[in-house]
Amino acid sequence: MRTAIYPGSFDPATFGHLDIIRRSSKLFDHLIVAVLNNSAKKSLFSVEERVSMLKMLTADYSNVSVDSFEGLLVDYARRMEAGFLVRGLRAVSDFEYELQIAQTNHVECPGIDTIFLTTSLNYSYLSSTIVREFASYGGDIRQFVPAEIIPLIYGKYNIDKE
Ligand code: ADP
């Protein structure tokens, strides 16, 4: 059984994340989308809200589950008996950081490999930060995130928008 973990903040999940989830769900028997519970980082959505949104958005994939974790990713991966970590690469700017993390994780836990998927071109510019910025000013975010979660995002900024 090949189990992989796709970790991230997902604050909120975007079409870019969902594209990585769709593609990596085909590569592994079980994909765990894992929301990092990082109390040091201020987030728009609580961990519970992010998990519940991701569960809704991935409901159609029978081999994808959603969870949250605290602490070291490699410890969580060991607990879940996952042999792979999935990360998305958008641009060269992601690369240096991701390489460093992947190599550190590999040293910590040689049994776990990081698999990088390059972003689909149409989402390469997309980040949760951009979505939050746009939404906070009432901007149109329909091209960035699924329709189901749009009202939840505007709701966080007290914006009432159809
Ligand atoms: P983190 O805080 O861990 O970077 P994110 O939620 O921002 O969490 O991203 C989680 C993962 O998804 C990262 O590997 C990131 O590179 C990837 N990702 C984010 N946006 C996109 C996108 N538009 N296309 C492909 N991958 C993406």
91-133 pLDDT, tens digit each: 888 899 999 999 999 999 999 999 999 998 899 999 999 999 9
Alpha-carbon torsion (41, 118, 20, 64), positive or negative? negative
Per-residue pLDDT at 158 exceeds 90:
yes
Give exposure, 117-135, as e/b (b: 16+ Cβ within 10 Å): bebbeebeebbbeebbebb
Decide: 119 in ligand 1 pocket, CB within 6 A: yes
Atom of ligand 1 nearest to the CA of 123: 23
Decide: 12 in ligand 1 pocket, CB within 6 A: no
Six-digit token string for 17:
């994340």
Report field, pTM of the whole predicted structure over 0.75: yes
Decide: 90 in ligand 1 pocket, CB within 6 A: yes
Are 33 and 147 a contacting pair, CB within 8 Å? no
| Per-residue pLDDT, 94 | 87
Nearest alpha carbon, ligand 1 atom 23? 16
Nearest alpha carbon, ligand 1 atom 15? 88
Helix (H), strand (E) at residue 8 = strand 3-8
Of residues 88 and 162, the one with the higher pLDDT is 88
| Per-residue pLDDT, 47 | 97
Residue 17 CA, distance from chain mean position: 5
90 tagged catalytic: yes
Give the 3-state secondary structure of residue 35: strand
Mutation probe of ligand 1 site: the residue of 5, 6, 10, 17 with most atoms within 8 A of C-beta: 17
State how far the alpha carbon of 124 is from the alpha carbons of 18, 133, 140, in Å. Answer: 13, 17, 18
1-54 pLDDT, tens digit each: 999 999 999 999 999 999 999 999 999 999 999 999 998 889 999 999 999 999
Q: Which amino acid is at 134?
A: F
62 tagged catalytic: no
Q: List, in sequence order, every beta strand (DSSP E) within 24-155.
A: 30-36, 64-69, 84-89, 113-118
| Per-residue pLDDT, 55 | 98
Nearest alpha carbon, ligand 1 atom 21? 16
- Find the 51 Cα to ligand 1 centroid distance in Å: 15
53-71 pLDDT, tens digit each: 999 999 999 999 999 999 9
- Helix, strand, coil percentages (3-state) for the chain, rounded to 5, are 40, 20, 40
Decide: 52 in ligand 1 pocket, CB within 6 A: no
